[in-house]
Structure 1
Amino acid sequence: MNDTSENPEIPAGQLEAARSSLAAWLVANSADPNRTIDPAALAEYEYKALEEWLMFWPASFANRAYLVSGGTVYSFAPSRESDSTALEKARALAGGQS
């Protein structure tokens, strides 16, 4: 499990905001209309900084990752998309949101 001591370049507030955005996105994109996710539950996810984005991935499922920045979440399969391709698509998604 990561924490800010292992990733000192990531301010705790940024990490918390990204976890909140990811939790909201996971709930909104769930097939279960009653699903809830506490952002604190995402503390088990691995993460790293990837330019201006934070990349999260569940330790138990290696082929799903999420890029999170400023409320935008881009989900991708690392086996099908490189980090750089995912970053391009995430930036395009963020630029297209109002």
Structure 2
Amino acid sequence: MLNILQAPGTVSGQTAVTGTFTATGNGASFIPIPGRGFNVSLWGTFVGTVVLERSFDSGTTWLPITGAGVAISTFGGPVSEVFEEPEYGVQYRLRCMSFGSGTINYRISQ
């Protein structure tokens, strides 16, 4: 039996991305392991809007997650969602697109 101990936040081998927004801007990028779910969480007391985006070209172009052409990953309050990426090397990040007040805490992990 193989027993591997890893540091908190790196259970899958990926280091969690965490941070806060207190103004509009971009969070750090995260590259999930393909075919496995990854978590996106926002919490805190805030007025603002955050969107989950992904890049297929190493961060040059960022696109919102959509379904039938409609953004489905835009959040205006605390959330905890699970997403899955089938392709290798795709980067994800959170972008605070509008900010009114408070602190928006975030975490992307796998």
Whether the TM-score (by the shorter chain) exceeds 0.5 is no
TM-score, normalised with respect to structure 2? 0.23
TM-score, normalised with respect to structure 1? 0.25
